[in-house]
Every structure is written in structure tokens, then in C-alpha cells.
Structure 1
Amino acid sequence: MLRRKAMNQLEAWHASSSRTALLVTGARQVGKTYLVREFAHRHYANFVELNFIEQPDLAQAFEGQRDVQNMIMRLELAAGHPLVPGETLVFLDEIQACKEAATAIKFLVDDGRFDFVMSGSLLGVELEDIRSVPVGYQSEVPMFPLDFEEFCWSRDVGEDVFAMLRECLAKREPVDAFVHEKMMDLFRQYLVIGGMPAVVASFQQSGSILDVRTMQEDIKRAYRRDISQYAAKADRLHIKTIYDLVPSELNNPNKRFTFAKVGKGARFKAMAGDFDWLAAANVALPAYNVDEPRKPLEMSKERNLFKLFYSDVGLLTGAYLNSTALNILSGDDNVNYGGIYENVVAQELAAHGFQSLYYYNSKRLGELDFLIQDRNDRVIPIEVKSGKNYKVHRALNNVLAEPNFHIEEGLVLGPGNVEIAGKVTYLPIYMVGLLENQ
């Protein structure tokens, strides 16, 4: 069983005195259904799971219904057994296929006899009705692929190791050299395997990179099928093309997405909805350019200038040649893994509370890979370095020297240990997930 941090949020929901329905969101195959089942096994004597895609006729139980007793009677008929008040969790999976069920949740929560969890894929694309449930009736838990810490748990790394890493980060002290090398080895594995639960579990059992590659391709095929099924017919070809272009675009020197690659004469204005669809489906992460590195970053973002990352770094690495994976695992620092390193940073930042991602590119000052605005409202520039020359960062030096920006600290994430040089703090790349903003 893979241990997931999202379980803590489900536990907190269960312990809350003011119960709501729970909505678990996230991309397909990030482990939502498995987690809800495990949670139900821990806390409920009775568990009812209804899947509106596998059993489309179940939608009839909610059609035009506002009478709670009628709905419960229909749920019992669908479950095939009585629902026991106070001891039953009802799991409504693939809720996007039955939005009337989400609308009915208010009445079922008010009734109070049973607990309800909803989930589904592509909820970000079709959430208007589902998220319209009044405040106080629904709580949301977003799920992501396994982050690096969760991946390390699957590799039998104890919590004491990450407690020590957090202390080193807080005190800006170097990590023990032996631990640092072991963590870099694990991080290189993570770059290849990624955090999709089925892929991690497969590697945990067999240790086969070829099996990993096969499963990653299966997941990407499933995402392409979702595009064919759920995206507007006129947009499907562009959305698929954009999704498939991500690996090659991240392999370019500036990594910025080039609209012309999608088709002759392609323009952002005509395709903005296509990029939004991939982001809303949680299968891609955009990082937007900002005019200047000042707070609030959202105010100065340029909508038509952005990088696009996969939501899971393993899916990106799997798109490249097998030799790339072998070079990563061997620790060859003569190869440029810039796009892969930036993808894992985007993924980790998104999973740890930085919901919007930004970067900065100036002809005069240069390009910063990422900008974050932390819980203290400070803007912090981040440079991501994959090679041994990680202490070369002209753009970061230029921005830190600009008095009008008032930036106190810049971070370099790379293969080296913790070190401070003036206003620059060097952190091991595996510490990115410790920069929490929750």
C-alpha cells in the first residue's frame, strides 16, 4: 500500500464536528479512488461505491430529485443492501457524469444520516455545477501524483530523514554528505519513475524500468482518450497536439511554448481555451511570464507567454529516449536535463500550495526559471540547475542586484548541498517539495 499525504486531509474531515460532503479532485490515475476505499475501510462498517461511468443507469436515482427519502431508497436499491445510519460512507465516483448528484448533495448532507465523498476525472473541465454546492456543504481535497517525499516512503525512507532535511532547510545548514548522496540517487529514480501510483507500485514490486515505460505510455494514451471524449470536437486535434508537443518544447533552450508548432498560423487568442482545458484537466501545468518580479505576481502575468509542463515528471522523462533515463540514473552530470528538472520543480511547487506558477524573462536581466510568492508575501526567485556548473546564474545575480525589486533572497535548486553565498541560497534539488505554501 502506498502512503499518501492526502489521507491526513480525509482524516481531518472525518474528525470534524461540522460534517460536509467531500470532493476529491485531481487528474486521472493519481490514486483518488484507491485512497477513498482505504479511508472507508479504516472508518466505516458499511461502504457503498457508485461509479456513474461504469453504471450510467445510476444517474436515474438523482434525476429531478429533491426528496431525500426517495434518493436514499434509490441508493439502497443501487447498493443492493440497506444503508446503516451513522456507519455508512457513500462514494459517488466519476461524479462529472452525473452533475445532478452533486446538486443533490446539499439535501443529503442536511439529512445527516450518511457520509458522502465525491470524486472523478476531469473535474476541472466540468466543475461548474459540482462546485456550485453552497459553502458549508462541501469540502475539497486536491490530489496530485506522489510527491518526492511520498515516493521516498515507497522506497522505505523513514520520516526521520525528512525531519532532518527540514531542519537543515530551516537552519540553512548542509545535509550530511552520505544522506545527500542517497537522496540524490532517490531523486534521480523519481525523475524517471515519477509519481503516478500504479507506476510507483509496479517499480516497487518488479524494479523494471521497461514496465515503468509501458505503464507511462498507457497513462498518456488514457489522457488522449479523455481529450477525444470530453473536449469539444472542434478543439480535440489542437489539444492533443499541444499535449504531445510538451516534451519537445521543454527540450528547447528557452522552454517557452511556441504556438506556431501547433499549426500554420496558430495564434494564442484562438487556442487559449485549449491550453486552459489541459490545465483544468490537471494533466498539464502552465507557468506564466511576469512583467517584473514584484508582488502580486498574478497582476503582472502575461497570459500569452508561458511554459507548459506535464503534471508528472515520469510521463515527461518517458517521452524521451531510453538513454536519457539511463543517463539520469547513472548520475551523468554532463547531460543537460534542464526541462526535466524544471518539470519536477513545477510539479512539486504545485503540489505544495503554489497553485499559480510564474517565471521572469527580461532582455536586459535574463531569465529566471520560477518565481514564487511565499506565505509571508515575499517574492523569491528560483533558478533550477541540473549540471555541475550550478553556481553560474547571471539572471539571478542581476535581479538580486536590482534595488527596485527589493528581493531579499534567491534560491538555486541543483545537485549541490545547502550553502549560502550573499543573497543566494543553494539547495539540493530534492528539497523543492519542502518549500510549502499551505
Structure 2
Amino acid sequence: MRRKAYDDLLAWKNGKTKQALLVTGARQIGKTYLIREFGGGEYDHVAEFNLATDDVTRESFLAARSADDLALRISIAADGPLVPGHTLVFIDEVQECPNVVTYIKTLVDRGEYDYVLSGSLLGVELENVRSYPVGYMSELMMFPMDFEEFCWATGLADQAFAMARDCFERQTPVPDFLHERLSALFHRYLLTGGMPDVVAAFVRDNAVDNVRTLQADIRRFYNRDITQYAPRDRRLVIQEIYRMIPGQLNNPTRRFKVGDIADVQRFSQVQDEFLWLSRANVALPVYNVDEPKGPLRAAEERRLLKLFYSDVGLLTGTYEKRSTLGILDGLGTQSGETSSSHDRMNFGGVYENVVAQELVAHGFAPYYFTGKKVGELDFLIEDADGRIRALEIKSGSRFRSHAALDKALVAPGYGIDEAIVFAETNVERDGKVLYLPVYMVSLLHRTRQLV
């Protein structure tokens, strides 16, 4: 499938001097597939090693005692020729052999081959690497397919998004035919999410049963990873927190109530468990800030947070299938509304999850704000130039009611430069507030760089 990260890989290849590339991200997001596609398209030769499935190669690499020793073992294990200047060495599931990361500095110094390393849970498994090769390794974080990539997979023409982007920039309504098409695709994206295998199944079958089966499998994989990789004395609590996310997102504030965890009274008791889920890239924490002005990171308050799944489809897949019927037509309710049908549910948590997912994938570190005098702002983001945007996310019909946002815009000392309400509507400006269709969150981008 077409992925934006391909361009990041190409930029690394063309712009690097002596850097390997470490591709990180959660399991099942398409890292291996994309790197293979990149290698096949941009190199004459590719030597691939999967250290999770190839026991012989893994044990051989673990036995290496120097960079020269590892280079020899790579040449022996490779199926094809290693041609200097024309070969990509791709080492997958590198967390199984952390010493590869230690020796990579010397290997790239030779300048013979390009090296791409990848794996799952690298944020937690590579913490104790003996000598991280600073200056010799760039890192690319991959995410599930975003909404635009999902649209590509369904066959939507590039011109459609270009037209929507033009309407976004000029703040003019999207033509009805395109607005209806993008809204319908967005509602389907809420059901499928961006896991490539799940998206492929949906595009192939146009049904959700296999989609939900694959989503359940992925959640089981993540729970198995917790059992295998998390510290033994923290595993049960980490699993409990991960299982609690859907229920916590169904409460009116979306804030994670730490007191709901068995035998826990204070955030400090479970701070490391939340951090593990974040570093494993299976959950997205969004922290509170003391006040809505920049720099947001300086105002971060880690005792209060919202916790989202890394993929919105994994969230909707936890709900009963019939309860998600309203998603297809944008007929959910939001906090404070009453439903005329027992089949309709509050999709506020689902909408906030997809927004958090898109913001993180597009380079933002989202926060939220809550204050006694103002109320709660769903998201705050900071652009590269320091501008602060307040985002309100509305899943129901009462999207013009946003008391907290109105109060924040006139509160003295607050630094909000732009206010946006994302809802089931078209583009419209009303004074200081810009209303945008919720699918347009995919058009918010902050400059991403390889680090």
C-alpha cells in the first residue's frame, strides 16, 4: 500500500552521510512491508534478516564480539551478494539482538552498505543498549495509516484531497459531492483504523466481520508483548490499563481515572506503567497543561492525562458491532445530548481518539486543558512557529455549543491564536471560531524531521 513514510525513507537515502536508519513503531503497522518495498525499488541488492523468526541468524549475531565479527556473520548469513554501494542491509526485529545497534557505528563508518534496522517495542527494549550510536543513526517513527493513506487504499484520486486542501487553506466550503464522499470514507476509517492488514481486508470484502477479527488479533498480540517484554512485576497492571482504555474514553471527560485501577490511589504508583505503554507505541498519552499558552511542554502536568489507543480501529473494534452502526452515518451523540434510539451511542471518545492519532502521526505533541473557570479544551497543539491552536471535537449535532472554548478565547493571559471546532459539518467561520469537517484534521501538519 502507498505510504507517506516511503518519501521519508527516500529522503534518508539521498540525504544521509554515514547514518543507519532505525524505523520504529508499533507492531502490525507495515514497517517490514514498506522497507522491503523501498529496498526492492531503490537498491540493486537487499540482504534481509528477521531476528525473531530466523533462530540461526539471531544466535549468530548475538555471538558477535565486535563490529568486524558482526560484519563477517552478516556476509555469511546473506542469501545474495553484498555489493558495496548498491546493497541495503535490512535487519528486522533488531530488539532481539541489541548488540547490532551497538556495533552499527563502525559498520556505517565503512561506507560499504546502507543499513536499515527495524522492530517492535524498540522504545522499551533498546533503553539499555550499551553505546547508542549518536550521530550515526537517524530514527523514523512510523504510525498506522492516516486518513489520507486510507483514502488512497480505497482508490480515491489524489485530486480529491488536493481540492479539500485548497478549501482548507482558503476556508471555503468543500463542494457537496466531495464533502459527502470524504465524510463517508472518514466514517469507514473510524471502523477500520489504519492497520494495513485490516484496511486491506476492508477494501477487499467491504464488510467488518474479518476486520474485527484482525483487530482482536492485534490487541492479543499487544497483550502478548506485554507478557513477554514488560517488567515482570508490572505486567498485570500494564495489561489492566490497556484493557481499561475503551471504558475510560467512554466517560464524559475522557480523562483516565487512575483510581479505577485496582489498589491504586496515586498516579505516581503507576507512572512507569503508563510510560511503558507509550514507549511501546501501543497507546497515546495526551497530558494536561496548567494553562493554554506556549510553550505547551513547559506547562505539562503529567498527573492528569487522556490515554488513547494508537489506532482508532482497535478502539471501535472493542465495542459491540451493532453499537457502532451510527458511525457509518455520523449519527453518534456527544456528552450532554440524549439519544432517540437505543442503538446510538456517544462516539466522543472515538472522535477524540482519531484526532489524537492524526495529530501525533503528523508531528504534533497534543495536550488538553481543564480549569475551573473555563472548563475543558479537548486539544491544544503548538505549531513550529509557536502558534497555539485550541481544538474542540464534536461527534454530535450540537457542535456550535462550546462554552469552554468561548471562555478561553476571552480569558486574560491565555495565548490561543486560533480556535477550531471539528465536527460533522462543512467549512465555516463564525467570528473567532473556524468550523471544519472532522476529516480535515488530516490536513493539519507540523514539520516532521528524521532525528
**What TM-score comes out, normalization by structure 1 length?**
0.96
**Structure 1 residues 342 and 131: alpha-carbon distance in aligned structure 2, compared to 1, 3 A threshold:** farther
Which residue number corresponds to residue 98 of structure 1? 97
Alpha-carbon distance in 2 for matches of 1:387, 1:172: 22
Report the Cα offset of residue 45 of structure 1: 2.2
Report the Cα offset of residue 7 of structure 1: 0.2
Which residue number corresponds to residue 318 of structure 1? 317
Which residue number corresponds to residue 340 of structure 1? 350
Cα shift readout 1:105-155 (whole Å, capped 9, x = no counterpart):
111101111111000000111233569543431111110000000000011
Let me know the Cα RMSD of the aligned residues: 1.6
Given that 1:372 and 1:379 are in contact with CA atoms closer than 8 Å, whether structure 2 keeps it comes out as yes
5 Å-filtered alignment, 1:141-156, equals: 141-156=140-155
Cα shift readout 1:16-51 (whole Å, capped 9, x = no counterpart):
262421110100010000001011110222211112
Given that 1:26 and 1:282 are in contact with CA atoms closer than 8 Å, whether structure 2 keeps it comes out as yes
Report the Cα offset of residue 164 of structure 1: 1.4
Q: For structure 2, which runs of at least 5 residues remain unmatched after alignment?
A: 334-343
Alpha-carbon distance in 1 for matches of 2:385, 2:240: 39
5 Å-filtered alignment, 1:14-413, equals: 14-16=13-15, 18-59=17-58, 60-61=60-61, 63-68=63-68, 70-129=69-128, 133-334=132-333, 335=344, 336-354=346-364, 356-413=365-422
Given that 1:65 and 1:104 are in contact with CA atoms closer than 8 Å, whether structure 2 keeps it comes out as no
Cα shift readout 1:238-280 (whole Å, capped 9, x = no counterpart):
0000000000000011111111221034421111000000000
**Structure 1 residues 57 and 238: alpha-carbon distance in aligned structure 2, compared to 1, 3 A threshold:** same
Helix, strand or coil at the partner of 1:124: helix
One-letter identity of the residue aligned with 1:193: T
Alpha-carbon distance in 1 for matches of 2:324, 2:417: 37
**Structure 1 residues 17 and 267: alpha-carbon distance in aligned structure 2, compared to 1, 3 A threshold:** closer
One-letter identity of the residue aligned with 1:247: P
- Give percent identity, aligned residues only: 51
Alpha-carbon distance in 2 for matches of 1:267, 1:27: 28
**What TM-score comes out, normalization by structure 2 length?**
0.93
Helix, strand or coil at the partner of 2:83: coil
Given that 2:47 and 2:79 are in contact with CA atoms closer than 8 Å, whether structure 1 keeps it comes out as no
**Structure 1 residues 67 and 283: alpha-carbon distance in aligned structure 2, compared to 1, 3 A threshold:** closer
Alpha-carbon distance in 1 for matches of 2:100, 2:55: 12
Helix, strand or coil at the partner of 1:125: helix
Helix, strand or coil at the partner of 2:390: strand
Report the Cα offset of residue 62 of structure 1: 5.4
Q: For structure 1, which runs of at least 5 residues remain unmatched after alignment?
A: none
Cα shift readout 1:69-128 (whole Å, capped 9, x = no counterpart):
x43321122124442222221111111111110111111101111111000000111233
Which residue number corresponds to residue 339 of structure 2? none
One-letter identity of the residue aligned with 1:220: R
Which residue number corresponds to residue 4 of structure 1? 3
One-letter identity of the residue aligned with 1:432: V
Given that 2:51 and 2:91 are in contact with CA atoms closer than 8 Å, whether structure 1 keeps it comes out as yes
**Structure 1 residues 3 and 130: alpha-carbon distance in aligned structure 2, compared to 1, 3 A threshold:** farther
Helix, strand or coil at the partner of 1:27: coil
- Give the total of aligned pairs: 435
